[in-house]
A and B are shown apart, each in its own frame.
Chain A
Amino acid sequence: MAANATSTSPAIGVAATLDWPEILKTAVFAAAITFLLAISIVGVETQSGPGGLTLSTRFPEVAIAVVGVFFGSMALSLIRGGYPVPAMIGAGLVTGVLLVVLVLEAENPSLKYLLPFQAVVIDWGAVIIPAIICVRAAQVAWRARRQATGAGDTAIGIQIGGLARRLMPWVGLIMVVVAIALPWLPFGSSQRKIIDICTLVLTYIMLGWGLNIVVGLAGLLDLGYVAFYAVGAYSYAMLGANFGWSFWICLPLAGIFAASFGVLLGFPVLRLRGDYLAIVTLGFGEMVRIILINWWWVTGGPNGINKVARPSFFGFTFERTAPEGHRTVYDLFSSVFGQEFTYNPYWRVVFLYYLILACALVTNVFTLRVRRMPLGRAWEALREDETACRALGINPTNTKLTAFAVGAMFAGFAGSFFGARQGFVSPESFVFIESAVILAIVVLGGLGSQVGIVLAAIVLIGLPELFRELKDYRMLAFGMGMVLIMIWRPGGLLAHRDPTIRLPKDPAKPKSPA
């Protein structure tokens, strides 16, 4: 394969002679591959018409992609070959020109013909690629210069890493403070939208923290986590609808149901090897969804359950007027603070936000504490080596089962919150892709890293939500983002693990340990 012929790079900074035929061969190969990839799926468009499918062509796009890949491959070869500067200049020029045209085009649509693709979003995507090449080339060039002048940059890297590690506990604290202050920060008209997005992100953070117990700590690959989320949401919705129980009674019940469900499903399958467990949990997830759709006389079928009771502030409703025998939260606050409060829909938003923040923090505190318990350590030991665990007298089945059940319980809590926030539940909220997204958050965050999960949830959920205008392209970028982040940091964003216990200084021996 020609493409990996260039992967053996000479020492950077050494002016190597470039193997032009090889570079050209690689570029032509890459361009040919691009051509074959694009020619039918991109080059021919199928449109549903009244008389069946009609075809139209998109050959200019194919041509641009092929040419772009050709030069991109050359640029990469140059960087690998020790000549990052020309690549940097070339890629920089392309980026600059595209950017200028894109910006001008916003004012003056007649310039559209200068853009490579018809969809502006794709054009922006097309800017990113030369920009990345340019940055990469600059980085390589800079490193080469530093090496030439004798200053290694690895030391700086280690210093930054060490600093980040020492700051980590503070980062967590600052995040909590910011999260608490968030509803009171002046965002103007977009405030409600921001709080909504943050509520969503926090839901995923909580789910991520819950799944982290199963995947990150116990090392059990669960691809059907969303099933427990669904069980939580439906238990809350059904208990609330059928018995009229309040959110505060249903929340723990939903957690207990989800946990029992986890035990029930987990018991037969937890002795399976990792990948088999993954596929079986995936199957369970799908089965739960299918049952939710088809067991319509209980679950409401594809339409789900509407009119799920909204949570109250410990019995005080957020509605404009309270039902018979109840009071609104505005009355309560008015009487407590001696100041007149009237109906304000933002209150419910803020309340839900704090509710999920509290739930998520409980999950986090639980995880942090349980990691220092024998149970948590047994989970991690099981992840590292199950055979050794058995030789130490640890019951693998029970230990796995607790991890599965606890993870499921937190998904159940999150699910009942989800139902309460939405006001309705339906099976389409619990598709496989949700499980995949939650798993992606856990793995991208760096298995077992609590702060990493927060970062990953913000990147994977928050950013796409902010750019909702890109709606169709969102999932495309999401998928590619997962691949790229994994390649960039296979261990996740924050892969560092701190021991759960450190050896205290021996009081008997005053001399400090080496």
Chain B
Amino acid sequence: MSMAAPQPQTAVDPLLRVEHLSMRFGGLVAIDDVSFEAPQNQITAIIGPNGAGKTTVFNCLTGFYKPTIGRLTLNAPHGRFLLEQIDGFRIAQRARVARTFQNIRLFAGMSVLENLIVAQHNKLMRASGMTLGGLFGFGGYREAERQAVELARDWLDRTALTAHADAPAGSLPYGGQRRLEIARAMCIDPVLLCLDEPAAGLNARESHELNELLLRIRDEHKIGVLLIEHDMSVVMGISDHIVVLDYGRKIADGAPAAIRQDANVIRAYLGEPEHEDLPSAVAADIEKRGG
């Protein structure tokens, strides 16, 4: 797991810049003035105890929530987008930010391949002349569909799902569903991939394979990856950069090695020093798994 991570590039504009993001639900402050950056070609992990507001950040980024305050700038190769001003599905459609969900959301009744084809909806919709052309057999729909299938096949191969291509997605084992969800997100050809706890529920081997997959995605597709994860072996093993949230605030931001030593982080995860009896074991565990 000690793969050499590329050195952080000090580009002028990072792929994603989150500035002063706050999200309130009534009186509850879920995120409080959080700012961070997620560069292209890097894996940025967002970690923090349960309820720290990690998924809420994702929901703001991907248009499920409208942030109360804040600016979310995406400097994609195909343009510059202010995500907080784009609504809902258009973030995936135009800005090409893809995401997965904490509790897997596949189209369970449709086949694995269909899941990947649906992800290429907007591209295929244009090719089919908003359906009318495709319906009557005009235009290049057939060819577009063939290309879509080839892209899907590529991802099926990478996620080791080719043998199950025609099976209903809901019938896959848990790990397969996680991988399919990532493959599906990649099929929209994203510039930023947001993964919400992709390793949850995976065993050690599957989790290791996931690391490999994510590193390949980073290195071959040159996209930014944003990762929420509790599994420290994944976080420490593959992320180039870690943002730590606690109670909706950012308490640390830096390279994995620095985060591991950060006093604030240790306190957030392990509690105040006076309760050290139990957490020391956990601390050792984190050390061991991270190192």
Contact = CB atoms under 8 A, between A and B. Distances in A.
Q: When A and B assemble into the complex, do they touch directly, with CB atoms less than 8 Å apart?
A: yes
Interface string A351-384: 0000000000000001001100111011011011
A503 B92 contact: no
Contacts of B30: none
Given A395-B89, A513-B162, A384 B108 contact: yes
Most buried by B among A377, A380, A387, A402: A377
Contact of A388 (B105, B141, B156, B162): B105
B238 interface: no
B165 interface: yes
Interface stretch (B16-24, B127-135, B225-233): B127-135
Contacts of A374: 117-118, 120-121, 124-125, 128, 131, 134
B149 interface: yes
Given A393-B92, A501-B117, 4 more contacts: A373-B135, A381-B121, A391-B105, A396-B89
B122 interface: yes
Contacts of A369: 135
Interface in B75-133: 88-94, 96, 98-99, 101, 105-111, 113-114, 117-122, 124-125, 128, 130-131
Given A366-B135, A380-B110, A502-B113, A391 B98 contact: yes
B93 A373 contact: no
B62 interface: yes
B184 interface: yes
Contact of B110 (A375, A384, A395, A502): A384
A500 B109 CA distance: 12
A38 B115 CA distance: 53
A503 B99 CA distance: 25
A402 B121 CA distance: 15
Given A503-B162, A503-B166, A395 B101 contact: no
Interface in A83-126: none
B67 interface: no
Query: Which range holds the interface residue count of chain B?
Result: 35 or more
B138 interface: no
A377 to B, nearest CB: 5
B63 interface: yes
Contacts of B166: 499, 502-503
A156 interface: no
19 contacts: A370-B131, A370-B135, A375-B125, A380-B107, A381-B107, A381-B110, A387-B101, A388-B107, A391-B92, A393-B92, A393-B96, A393-B122, A393-B188, A394-B118, A396-B89, A501-B149, A502-B166, A503-B156, A513-B165
A27 B29 CA distance: 60
A389 B122 CA distance: 11
B131 A373 contact: yes
A369 B142 CA distance: 13
Contacts of A380: 107, 109-110, 114
B88 A375 contact: no
Contacts of B111: 499, 501-502
Nearest to B111: A499
A393 B121 contact: yes
Interface of A: 366, 369-370, 373-375, 377-378, 380-381, 383-385, 387-396, 402, 497, 499-504, 506, 513-514
B12 interface: no
A385 B166 CA distance: 19
Nearest to B145: A501
A504 B110 contact: no
B123 to A, nearest CB: 8
Given A374-B124, A394-B89, A499 B114 contact: yes
A502 B165 contact: yes
Contacts of B89: 389-396
Given A388-B101, A392-B118, A504 B149 contact: yes
Contacts of A497: 109, 168
A390 B122 CA distance: 12
Contacts of A393: 89-94, 96, 121-122, 188
Nearest to A391: B99
Contacts of A392: 89, 92, 98, 118-119, 121, 184-185, 188
Most buried by B among A380, A393, A402: A393
B163 A513 contact: yes
A377 B128 CA distance: 13
A514 B99 CA distance: 30
Contacts of A500: 114
B64 interface: yes
B149 A385 contact: no
A309 B162 CA distance: 58
A503 B128 contact: no
Contacts of A375: 125, 128, 130-131
Interface in B158-172: 162-163, 165-166, 168
Contacts of B108: 384-385
Contacts of A396: 89
B135 A503 contact: no
Nearest to B167: A499
List 8 A-B pairs, minimum CB-CB distance, nearest first.
A393-B93, A393-B92, A499-B111, A384-B107, A503-B165, A374-B124, A388-B105, A375-B131
B153 interface: yes
A503 B149 contact: yes
Contacts of B134: 373-374
